[in-house]
Amino acid sequence: GENVEQHPSTLSVQEGDSAVIKCTYSDSASNYFPWYKQELGKRPQLIIDIRSNVGEKKDQRIAVTLNKTAKHFSLHITETQPEDSAVYFCAASKDNNNDMRFGAGTRLTVKP
Amino acid sequence: EPEVTQTPSHQVTQMGQEVILRCVPISNHLYFYWYRQILGQKVEFLVSFYNNEISEKSEIFDDQFSVERPDGSNFTLKIRSTKLEDSAMYFCASRRTTGELFFGEGSRLTVL
């Protein structure tokens, strides 16, 4: 099955700095790559996703890049704010397979 | 906005007891999932369900686990004989076809 690796496990940045979280996946057939944000005690919620037919997608301060050849994708958060502090999970899945595997998570702390 | 609902929010049980966790997926969604998250750790895939049968399951989903869709709205996870290591947050999720997974608020299971 799919194996998703995520780095770093923790990340601390100053407010206003950028944060980058990286993930790799094992199954070259995977074609859907979402990122979820989980605040303490809450459910994971989708913040951005990308399909394998595009290399980059941006939504305001958040962007995701995908390198299919290298099988890795990254989350970029610019101008970080304290409310960005949370655990971020990447995931990978493919349309003809009904599981979605998550990375181990990155705990992001944005210091004011 | 429609959402996935789960009950109970918290259940405490004795080791060896049976537990049933209940979920109501979003009404027009076709794929249903159970995930487990041990405190502070990753979101682990347990099982996916489509067209009234299991479509994928992980190595965690052994014979003590079962899922059922007893009627047109509920989706349940049964743990036959709970162990201490089953203590975790259990998330139900659903999606229409491909794309975003919508998570419920979770059911926290504590096994004593």
Q: Position of tokens 């194996």?
A: A3
Q: Do A105 and B31 touch (CB under 8 A)?
A: no
Distance CA B69, CA B49 (A): 9
Q: What is the pLDDT of residues B23-43, one digit of tens each?
A: 999 998 999 999 999 988 999
Task: Flag whether pLDDT at A1 surpasses 80.
Answer: no
Instruction: Count CA atoms closer than 13 A to A9's CA, side-chain side.
Output: 4
Chain B residue numbers with beta carbons less than 8 Å from the beta carbon of A32 are 98-99
Cβ A88 vs Cβ A106: under 8 Å: yes
At B81, give phi and psi (nearest 5°): -140, 95
pLDDT recorded at residue B88: 97
Q: What is the pLDDT of residues B62-98, one digit of tens each?
A: 999 999 998 878 999 999 999 999 999 999 999 988 7
Cβ B62 vs Cβ B81: under 8 Å: no
Best mutation target among B51, B101, B105, B108 (most A Cβ atoms within 10 Å) is B101
Tell me the shortest Cα–Cα distance from B14 to chain A, in angstroms: 23
* Nearest-CB residue to B43 (from A1, A89, A97): A89
Chain A residue numbers with beta carbons less than 8 Å from the beta carbon of B52 are none
pLDDT recorded at residue A45: 95
